[in-house]
Amino acid sequence: MSLFASELRRAREGFGWSREKLAEEINFSTSLIEKVECGNKAPSQAFAEGVDRALATDGLLGRIRDHLLTQAGLPEWFRSWYDIEQEATAIWWYELLLVPGLLQAEGYAHELLNGDESKLAARMERQQILTRATPSPPELVVLLDERALRYPMTDPQGMRAQLERIEAVAESFVVQVVPIDCGTHLHLDGSFGMAVLDGREYVYVDTPARGFVLDSPDVISAMKRRWDLIRAEALPRRQSAELIREVAEQWTS
């Protein structure tokens, strides 16, 4: 994002504005503007649009952001969820067959993305929200179907490394396994995520063609009910950790 950072700084200084003045005009914090200008924070779509309006740049920063995200392997339809994910205070995710992106080890993701280096770099960059110092990482709860632990996405060593990655994440966040013989079929309808950002709730629904971000109250209410029913069938955290460790050892035994 160095190009975006330099163009933002150039436009702001050309307008004769301080960071504080720009922050006041676009309703974002001065510290965020500083991080973006120093290349330490990726700008959201709302941020880019706000700066373009305030500094009369005719959409330049928005176009730069879109170009950089395209180069980074983030398809256009995923970017709204990417923005939500980066700023969310809470994320809940259910995954049926594959390990979700935020938990993927590099080798596993490499196989899943067919070796596309730009997409791999973007996938790994997304995970930085789990280890950042400021703001604090989001509350993260992952419900992971047992099938995802056993599906051979990569070779046995790679699968063991992936499950060890999940174990490591589970030390700081909530990861629960939904056993194959659970008492509901709702989990078989596919993967989905939910997030909270600025007090608003969002749902991400995956399909074979693309994903969709939804925020209608009816959809959110329905997905919350589905989440609660699936989680009721999940193993407790300790039993989940034991099963993950057991399956990890099975991959190389």
**Average of pLDDT values for 4-21?**
93
pLDDT tens digit string along 196-246? 999 999 999 988 888 999 999 999 999 999 999 999 999 999 999 999 999
Q: How many CB atoms lie within 10 A of CB 99?
A: 23
Residue 16 has pLDDT above 80, yes or no: yes
pLDDT of residue 186: 62
Mean of pLDDT values over 180-199:
82
Task: Summarize the confidence of residues 69-82 as an average pLDDT.
Answer: 80
| pTM assigned to the model | 0.76
Q: Which residues contact 216 (CB under 8 A, 6 or more apart)?
A: none
197-209: per-residue pLDDT in tens? 999 999 999 888 8
CB 144 within 8 A of CB 239: no
Instruction: Please name the residues in contact with 44: beta carbons below 8 A apart, sequence gap of 6 or more.
Output: 83, 86, 87
Q: Rounded mean pLDDT of 69-79?
A: 77
Average pLDDT, the chain: 91
Q: How far apart are CA 193 and CA 153, in angstroms?
A: 21
- Looking at residue 183, what is its pLDDT? 66
- The winner for highest mean pLDDT among 60-69, 72-81, 132-141, 170-179 is 170-179
Tell me the domains of the chain and their CATH numbers.
2-71 (1.10.260.40), 77-251 (3.30.870)
Question: Length of the chain, please?
Answer: 253
Q: Would you state the pLDDT for residue 184?
A: 64
Residue 2 — pLDDT band, cuts 50, 70, 90?
A: confident
Tokens 């009721």 belong to 232
Mean pLDDT within 118-135: 86
Sort 102 into a burial class: Cβ within 10 Å, 0-12 / 13-18 / 19+.
Answer: buried
Tell me the C-alpha distance between 209 and 211, whole Å.
7
Instruction: Please report, rounded to a whole number, the percentage of residues in the chain having pLDDT higher than 90.
Output: 70
| pLDDT score of 41 more than 90 | no
Q: Report the pLDDT value the prediction gives residue 185, as an integer from 0 to 100.
A: 66
